[in-house]
Each structure stands twice: as C-alpha cells, then as structure tokens.
Amino acid sequence: MTAVQHAPAAARPAASTSVRPHRVWLLLLACLAVLAGLSLASLVLGNRDLAIGELFTALTDRQAGDVEHDILWDQRLPRTLVALAVGAALGLAGAVMQGITRNPLADPGLLGVNAGAAIAVTGAITVLGITSPLRYIWFALAGAALAAALVYGVGALGREGATPVKLALAGTAVTAGATSFITLMLLTDRTTLDAYRRWAVGSLAGRGTDPLVDLAPFLVLGVVLALLTGRTLNLLAMGDDVARGLGQNLPLARAATGTAVVLLAGGATALAGPIVFVGLVVPHLARALLGLDYRLILPFSLLLGPVLIVAADVIGRLVVRPGELEAGIVVAVVGAPVLVAIVRRVKLAGL
C-alpha cells in the first residue's frame, strides 16, 4: 500500500466530523484576536521599539522626517502586510494540497511549486542580470505555474490519470531536478549566489508594498478559488471512485485546485522566498481544532497561516537583537519537530 492510502486525516470523509457552530465562532474570534495582537506587536517591536501612543500618532498623523514615523511607514507596516499575505497564501495552499493529494505530508513544495519559482528566479538573475525583487516576482510566478503544469502533465500519464501518488512522485522528481540546476547556477556565478540567497532564505525585511500590490490580484483570485473547493475536497477525501460516483468531475476539480495552489504558493514564494513548513503545519492545526470538514479547514488555514508567519517574524527580530533571524529560519525551527510528530502520529507505511 502507498503512504497516501494510510493518511487518516485526509482519507476519511470530512463530513463525518461536525463542529458545533458556537465553537466555530469562538475559534474564529480567538484567531482574529491573536492575529490582531501579533500584527500590533509586529508594528511596535524590533531593533527600535515604538510606544503604543507613538504608533497611533504615526498612523493617523505622519510627520515627514520623524524617525519613528519613517520606521513604521517605510519598514514595519509593509513588512507586516507582506507577512499577512504570505502566511494566508501558504496556509491556504497547504490545506488545498493536502486535500487534493490526500497526503497529510503535502505542502506547496510537493508539486514542485517552490522549486519552479526558485529555478525561474535563479535563471533570471544569472541570464538576465535581474536582482530587483519587484522585477523577478514575475519570473517566480511563471516558474511556479510551469512546474505545476509539468507535474500535473507527468502525473496524468496512464489510464488512471493524475492520482495522488503519481502527483506526489512527479513533484518530487521535478523538485530534485530543479534543485540540481539551481545548485549548478549558484556555484558558477557569485553574483547570482549573493542575490539569490537573500530571497531564498525566506526574509520579509525590505520587501516593500510594491511587489504585494502587483501580486494582489493573483493572490485574491487564488484565495477565492481555494475557498470554493471545500465541498470538492470533502468528496475527494472519500476516494476518486466515490467522488466520481457522486458526480464530481475529477480532471476539472484537480485543475481548479491546482490553479489555486499555483496562484497562492507561487505568489507567496515570489514575495518572500520558498518558506517551508507553513503549508504543512497550518492545515494540521486547523484539523485538530475543527475536524475534517474542508469547508472549515480552508478559511481557518487562511487565518492560522498569518498567525504563524507574523509570530515567526516577530520572534526573529527579538531573539538576536540588534540583528534578526529571517522568518523562514524561525518557521523551519518550529516546523521540523512538528513534521516528526506528524509522521509518528499517522504512522505512514513505507516512510
């Protein structure tokens, strides 16, 4: 048997677990309160802390040339907005991927999305000399889309079509090949290495709002598509045969969910680099709180993703002051033991 077939969190019918409405509303309010608190901390904490009173003064009546006001508007506020967008996109993309592949270990890297974005950015830096994040975000988005299309094309070969196992294997192969080419380009060009490593480490510092504004239409479209797939993912959780018997168009469903993942994960990767583990951890946390219904898992993943990213960014600023750790590093430190715990809990065969 394959590992995917043994994934209890994704293989049982999501409708079998119901959550009382008042619990959903309480959890929603709690998530929003935590996210608001973390966003406030992101605005005031850092190498130079801002007082709460000064924060509101800067937000309502900015004084040109004031150091605190400039820090807030030029650094903290754009950084917080990018963190919110990246966390929401990665959390939601991870939930969709775990549903469509029926694999509890799936995240946006499984279908080669991160690898496709990374190899496109590396090629843009090496061949075209592009070093501005505002310019190479389009290469990252295009690379993510091409990689996902390649993985789906390879996975769809054969009579069975694009099964979860074949998609996972194709994604692993594409990721391995892309990583080899990236390493080759980095080793042969020091300029490429210097420009690439700042993006690849998963930093939110210095991103600015311009890339976020450019990518906002893609991210919004990805969110809308993903949130509309809740019922589809519930049906797919019962298996392809059952879903097909209930009238689900599997190729169309996988194309729609795949498009949502590319838009979300590709956009987030373009903004902040290939941050790992967010798409893995967040859906598991949502399932632990709400059960197996993807109509609830998806919107809560949209909220829990920013909670994780903003918290990681704030922690990274505080632990090594006056320096800082990139959010991608902090998330990896938290995500690695969580991954081990997930593997031990689900006891996947063959892993």
Residue 346 near residue 104 (C-beta atoms within 8 A): yes
Residue 274 burial by Cβ neighbours in a 10 Å radius (0-12, 13-18, 19+): buried
For 216-248, write each residue's pLDDT tens digit.
Answer: 999 999 999 999 999 899 988 887 788 888 878
Average pLDDT over residues 203-221: 83
Q: How far apart are CA 8 and CA 30, in angstroms?
A: 27
Tell whether the model's pLDDT for residue 83 goes beyond 90.
yes
Tell whether the model's pLDDT for residue 8 goes beyond 70.
no
Q: How far apart are CA 310 and CA 301, in angstroms?
A: 14
For 270-291, write each residue's pLDDT tens digit.
Answer: 888 888 889 888 999 999 899 8
Confidence of residue 162 (pLDDT cuts 50, 70, 90): low
Highest averaged pLDDT of the listed ranges 30-34, 71-75, 120-124, 197-201: 30-34
Structural domains of the chain ordered from first start? 4-346 (1.10.3470.10)
Q: Which amino acid is at 322?
A: P
Q: Classify residue 162 as left (phi > 0), alpha (psi -120 to 50) or beta.
A: beta
Average pLDDT over residues 94-123: 83
pLDDT at 16: 45
Three-state SS annotation for the chain: CCCHHHCHHHHCCHHHCCCCHHHHHHHHHHHHHHHHHHHHHHHHCCCCCCCHHHHHHHHHCCCCCCHHHHHHHHHHHHHHHHHHHHHHHHHHHHHHHHHHHCCCCCCCCCCCHHHHHHHHHHHHHHHHCCCCHHHHHHHHHHHHHHHHHHHHHHHCCCCCCCCHHHHHHHHHHHHHHHHHHHHHHHHHCHHHHHHHHHHHCCCCCCCCCHHHHHHHHHHHHHHHHHHCCHHHHHHHCCCHHHHHHCCCCHHHHHHHHHHHHHHHHHHHHHHHCCCCCHHHHHHHHHHHHHCCCHHHHHHHHHHHHHHHHHHHHHHHHHCCCCCCCCHHHHHHHHHHHHHHHHHHHHCCCCC
Total-model pTM: 0.85
